[in-house]
Amino acid sequence: MALKETEELNRLTVAAAVSRAICTVAELGVADHVGKGEAVPVATLAQKTGTHERSLHRVLRLLAGRGIFREASAGTFEHTPLSFVLRGDAEGSFRAGARLFHRLFPAWDGLDHSIRTGEPGFNKVFGSPVFDYVMANPEAGPIFDAGMSSIHGYETPAMLDAYDFSGVKVLADIGGGNGSLLTGVLQRYPAMRGMLFDLGHVVGRAQEHLRAAGLSERCQVIEGNFFDSVPAGADAYLFRHIIHDWTDEQSLQILSHSRRVIPQSGRLLLVECVVPPGNDPSASKDFDITMMTFPGGMERTEPEFRALLDRAGFRLTSVTPTATMVSVVEARPV
């Protein structure tokens, strides 16, 4: 019997429990009840979160074995760097992202359906595409916004440190969500003006965000659907984690609208994971399966980006890595 291999496959097979445990303790707010530098009895944590003491202890023990919390003494837990960012008030807090996945976690039951059919498993489980589900459930919108900012917000400073936006007079953020990305760019480049384009149920939240940042006068917010059109008037068009949500044909439709309005000297910027070749683990490969199962999209390799852009009338000119899992894929009109 291949004992070593069996044990390793056992460990990997039950690893779903770790993911689910992270999402659950984030939803319960366990980390918020542990202060920095203190160890808290699990009985106290159970009382404050309304949970079963022994069960909570077992879950925290599991997470501590992965570096999330630390059992300081029998039955008391303190923070590690990983558990601390599950606090809602932590800088770069990941709590909202984990809470979002807590709500959408059942979609993983659709992975088998995705593999067999090529269709999003989310649709099979929830009965509608993920973005339709968010639109149909008003309470899900703010959770989705907060979750996306939590998961991807740390990429903005890294993108700005890696890629030079100098020379861009008007930047259009297509599918710009709540405006957090465009806010970061406009704050770094005070001479730049912005355009944010997104669906009607989103742009109201974007306007509030830009107003709070004092950027309303420098940024135009436009309501629309990028499957129908993309607004003219910018010299650079930015898509962050948009193209990875869609199939090649859907992405081609979006990019073709951009090609019609972008000036010949303009730039198309895709901020996305670029899947590396070879067998090494990569966050981009993990997210690729998430995209396959949830919206039905994909993370792409550099050759796949090049081929897609070529079909849309663009030429890939550079791929700029950042300190995070994303790169800035730059293309110019042919």
Can you give the CATH number for the domain in which 189 is found?
A: 3.40.50.150
Please indicate, yes or no, whether residues 189 and 312 belong to a single structural domain of this protein. yes
Site of tokens 């639109």: 135
Please indicate, yes or no, whether residues 301 and 220 belong to a single structural domain of this protein. yes
Check whether 331 has a pLDDT greater than 60: yes
Mean model confidence pLDDT for the chain: 95
Please indicate, yes or no, whether residues 160 and 296 belong to a single structural domain of this protein. yes
Share of the chain above pLDDT 70, in %: 99
Helix (H) / strand (E) element for 328: namely strand 326-333
- Tell me what pLDDT residue 3 has: 84
Q: Provide the domain count of the chain.
A: 3
Domain carrying residue 142: 102-148
When pLDDT is cut at 50, 70 and 90, the band that residue 1 belongs to is low
Please indicate, yes or no, whether residues 279 and 137 belong to a single structural domain of this protein. no
Please indicate, yes or no, whether residues 79 and 106 belong to a single structural domain of this protein. no
Token pair belonging to 121 = 């498993």
Residues recognised as catalytic: 244
Q: What is the pLDDT of residues 34-90, one digit of tens each?
A: 999 999 999 999 999 999 999 999 999 999 999 999 999 999 999 999 999 999 999
The last residue of a domain, from among 111, 129, 148: 148
How far apart CA 179 and CA 223 sit, in angstroms, is: 13
When pLDDT is cut at 50, 70 and 90, the band that residue 310 belongs to is very high
The last residue of a domain, from among 50, 68, 93: 93
Please indicate, yes or no, whether residues 178 and 69 belong to a single structural domain of this protein. no
Q: What is the pLDDT of residues 253-307, one digit of tens each?
A: 999 999 999 999 999 999 999 999 999 999 999 999 999 999 999 999 999 999 9
Please indicate, yes or no, whether residues 204 and 310 belong to a single structural domain of this protein. yes
Please indicate, yes or no, whether residues 248 and 180 belong to a single structural domain of this protein. yes
Which CATH number do you get for residue 49? 1.10.10.10
* Rounded to 5°, angle at Cα 149 from 282 and 147: 85
Please indicate, yes or no, whether residues 141 and 157 belong to a single structural domain of this protein. no
Please indicate, yes or no, whether residues 120 and 24 belong to a single structural domain of this protein. no
Q: What is the pLDDT of residues 317-327, one digit of tens each?
A: 999 999 999 99
Please indicate, yes or no, whether residues 87 and 47 belong to a single structural domain of this protein. yes
Q: What interhelical angle do 155-162 and 180-188 show, nearest 10?
A: 40
CA dihedral for 103, 109, 110, 114, sign (positive or negative): positive
- Tell me what pLDDT residue 150 has: 87
DSSP reduced 3-state for 36 = coil
The last residue of a domain, from among 131, 148, 165: 148
Please indicate, yes or no, whether residues 73 and 207 belong to a single structural domain of this protein. no
How far apart CA 80 and CA 99 sit, in angstroms, is: 19
